[in-house]
Structure 1
């Protein structure tokens, strides 16, 4: 911006200088030449007044002193030099002056003015005044040099003023840009400082107000998530303890039901923890340790969702394609993502649901496919609050996408008919940490 302001100011100053200096230079040239010719004409007229007719009979003619650096000469009607300095024979301006007219002309590199000498209504001679044109040209060049120096001085002053003004304009904007970058990097406490420019101060004030509102909004959302998670964990923990106690004292016929309820509460507890983790990470990629083997994750998902789909007369097929045995992924968050996709296929899809895991060397692709189709606009499919066919709250896919991003992965729709969602998750091999 600084260079742009300087260039604009310099261009404007240069245009102004050119529009002023060029006509002024022409005026200076014309004025100096005209002044010199006027001086020659005055000298020639003064000499013509002093000439009398006696010079034709041989009496010497007295001429005044010529102008500085110039010459004065008296010529008779036969173009012969009779007094003063000049060519021995009168030139074209002298010849033209015999017609009783004052002649201004250039001759042989000189500026010349010829004035007729009248007597008894006749021309009895011509006074010729001349000076070298080089002298006037040197004066013109000297004046032009002074004009060029003044123009250069004006341009230099314009550049200095433009640089100062550009610095005054750019500094608060650069400061505002640094604060915006700090906010982008996660520092929500950054605030733009006031400057001496009211328009920029207004932008900075609006930026600070917007940032304050955004900070308060994020704080309220994080507080709500933290409070909700805290309030949910306490009764969930109590419910788990009650169910675990029921396993040791309850009826054997109720044992499978209690175990299923206990597993459900544990999964709900993991869900609460993942939502809390996501709120703390603010949706940004966050390193999560790969703590579960892919094979165990697939088995757990199959055990959980097989019965739910079977109740609706549908099948669940889980396969892995070339996935290494030691490939590990973040179990809890990935289980939440795939759970959302499987539930979405159960509620909105039809036919057989397939969970396929593919090895992509530095990442694993988890494909969830059913035999239905996606009618909703893919551009809004992951927008929070949008749901297919008006069923649900439109939160599941948005939450799954945020969870995938928090893992450094990506969730996308890779097929509309049949509907296919793909989760890409970075992986690494490692020693088992969970006994699975």
Structure 2
């Protein structure tokens, strides 16, 4: 493209130079010959003034000095050269001046001007002045060479400017192409930079926006896999333990084990539905339609986790403050987030874990705290991959925050020691009682 821009610019300058230089060259030629005619006429008039009236009687004429290479001669009415230089017999141009008017013309590679000599109203002779055309052409050629030199300088300047402008125009496009190739090779961090050209900047902004959306989509897909594996781990473990207990226990406990397994399967189904919903969701305000009273949601989480904590020798306490249990919260989202927080407290915390439900100024707050101390920086807690132990994946808290935001809520770290997380949900109006 750069060569094409330079070629177009140079051709445009060449056309402009030809269109300007051709009439200018013709004008120089015409002007030089016209100036030479005028100069010869002035020389002839100066000589005619020095011709006395006694010229017809044969007196000698003293002609004034003139430029070298110019012939000046005085002719009588018979056409004979009386004084000066020139052809011995008057030519046609000289003879035509006997009519009383100055004449101009060309003859035998010469420029000729003839001026009549008059006494009173009577013409008594003719002064002829001439010079060779090669001398004039020499001056014309020198002027043309100067014009050609000026044109060459203009052309060279145009080439330099065209190269610079071509570089200015093509460099952003080449950089944009490089960034596009980098994105095609898998570098989703490559971004096109701005330039001084508005149209190219618009293309760069469009490409950057496209890459941003593509990056978000790909990250969404990658996160979905890790989120699903993380969230499905706990219900699958519970299901396996229940089935193992049913396999080794007496028949009287078989029904209870199967019911527990069915509950775990239902929870697994809700987990799958919630992870899939999160994969399609975007952050928004408001509470999803599938909402239940907070007390019911917390009670179901309590039944699912109480045995797990007891098996580890840990205590799990649930408390619902007055006014908080009846508030509506998104059922599945709240369960999934509490599963993450309790799993995080079980793996990385210590001591008693307390879950408190309370009403807080138009929102429902659920506090999850343990007796441990968080070593991570506050800003790194919710970053994907951040973990305090090798056993952790660094996904849970990030996923919990994403689920809270997708449901219009918010998950924050309130204290590092003892570790306390607070989950906030906007309050949904309780459903009306049926009539």
Alignment of 1:349-364 (within 5 A): none
Partner of 2:14: 14
SS at match of 1:98: helix
2:171 is the alignment partner of 1:171: yes
Alpha-carbon deviations, 1:36-70, whole Å to 9, x = none? 00000011111112212323323211111233421
* Structure 1 Cα separation of the partners of residues 101 and 166 of structure 2: 63
Alpha-carbon deviations, 1:280-339, whole Å to 9, x = none? xxxxxxxxxxxxxxxxxxxxxxxxxxxxxxxxxxxxxxxxxxxxxxxxxxxxxxxxxxxx
Alignment of 1:19-418 (within 5 A): 19-232=19-232
| Structure 1 residues not aligned, in runs of 5+ | 252-271, 273-436
* Structure 1 Cα separation of the partners of residues 250 and 109 of structure 2: 131
| Structure 2 residues not aligned, in runs of 5+ | 252-271, 273-435
* Structure 2 Cα separation of the partners of residues 250 and 147 of structure 1: 115
Contact 1:40/1:67 (8 A) holds in 2:
no
Partner of 1:418: none
* Structure 1 Cα separation of the partners of residues 36 and 67 of structure 2: 10
* Structure 2 Cα separation of the partners of residues 138 and 144 of structure 1: 10
* Structure 1 Cα separation of the partners of residues 120 and 98 of structure 2: 15
Task: Determine which structure has more spread, i.e. the larger CA radius of gyration.
Answer: 2
* Structure 2 Cα separation of the partners of residues 22 and 46 of structure 1: 36
* Structure 1 Cα separation of the partners of residues 250 and 17 of structure 2: 101
Q: CA RMSD in A?
A: 3.3
* Structure 2 Cα separation of the partners of residues 244 and 174 of structure 1: 64
Contact 1:39/1:67 (8 A) holds in 2:
no
In the superposition, the TM-score normalised over structure 1's length comes to 0.54
- Give the superposition deviation at 1:135: 0.5
* Structure 2 Cα separation of the partners of residues 93 and 165 of structure 1: 59
- Give the superposition deviation at 1:243: 7.7
SS at match of 2:176: helix
CA, structure 1 residues 48+227, in 2 after alignment: closer, same or farther (shift >3 Å)? Answer: same
Q: How many pairs were matched up?
A: 260
